[in-house]
Amino acid sequence: MSLSELIAGVAAAERTLTVFNPREGVVDRLAEHFEDRNVSVEAATVDSGPSNYAVLGTGEKFHTAVDVAHVLKDAEDVEPGFERESYAPILDHLDETLFTSYDRQKMLNATREIEDRAWRVGAGQLHSGFQTGDNLDPQLESYNRLGERNDLFVHAYIYPSADVPKVDNFQLHLARSAEVRRSWFVVYDGNGVDDYKCGLVAEEQPDGQGFRGFWTYDPSTVDYVLSHLTTTYSIIESDGRGDSEVTSSSTHPAESESV
């Protein structure tokens, strides 16, 4: 399964936020807040029970329930990120929910959260896709610092162009793959600890409307993405640092060609 197919699978699982006995304007405010997420917001009226509380679900599956005032109070300043303790209860259940129309700044905000987690743990593997060398250039200093961090092994992927950035402390993988050219991904293996694993997987939309994708804390999803990257792009065992390594893509031959 390609990264694009993985995103499509997440897109198919729309979540519903049902607000019971809502106060005036609440449904519209929530719909506006979640407008770039694959979440539909609807109202429901019941004769008994508290007013202005919301239930999040996927089909018949229940995820969580929370007072709407709590969601709106905490949600205003939340950036896309990966620190569970900073989330309102509703947002904590929105990992692996599609986001749409994220611009590069929002993508960078989310990317920084994963990189920061990898830095703090200081060990394991961090795999990041930058699409092109031009996108990697402004991040070279940060990624060279990450690559110097204890036992943290850093891998970056780009579609090769005329000017390939020179790297010092991390492994650079070149792949003539449409997937690498259009995808933005940052995945951290948590140094093998499930609670530390997290990832961001997105693809640039062809109409110029930003990126769509999802973030995840699910260990099995993180493991799948890492397996896809290492097998598709022929990652060779190494110390994760040093000269650039030219790799090839062995999957989806219609989209890829060897470098």
Residue 124: which of 198, 184, 185 has the closest Cα? Answer: 198
100-257: which CATH topology?
Answer: Endonuclease; Chain A (3.30.870)
- In angstroms, the CA 212 to CA 200 distance is 10
Specify which of 67-71, 91-95, 184-188, 215-219 reaches the highest per-range mean pLDDT: 184-188
- In angstroms, the CA 87 to CA 67 distance is 14
3-97: which CATH topology?
Answer: Glutaredoxin (3.40.30)
- In angstroms, the CA 177 to CA 216 distance is 24
Task: Give the β-pairing of 198-204 and 183-188.
Answer: antiparallel
Q: 96: helix, coil or strand?
A: coil
Contacts of residues 158-164 at CB distance under 8 Å and 24 or more positions apart, as own/partner, are 158/129, 158/130, 158/131, 158/132, 158/133, 159/131, 159/132, 160/133, 160/246, 160/259, 161/132, 161/133, 161/134, 163/133, 164/133, 164/244
Q: 23 with 51: CB under 8 angstroms? A: yes
Q: Which two tokens stand for residue 215?
A: 């973030």
Residue 164: which of 258, 244, 247, 232 has the closest Cα? Answer: 244
Domain ranges of the chain: 3-97, 100-257
Q: Which two tokens stand for residue 249?
A: 């893509």
pLDDT band at residue 14, thresholds of 50, 70 and 90?
confident
Give the tens place of pLDDT for each residue, 30-60: 888 777 777 778 899 888 777 888 888 887 8
Average pLDDT over residues 109-115: 89
- In angstroms, the CA 87 to CA 200 distance is 17
Record the pTM. 0.73
pLDDT greater than 50 at residue 81: no
Dihedral angle sign, alpha carbons of residues 129, 250, 174, 126: positive
Give the tens place of pLDDT for each residue, 19-30: 998 888 888 888
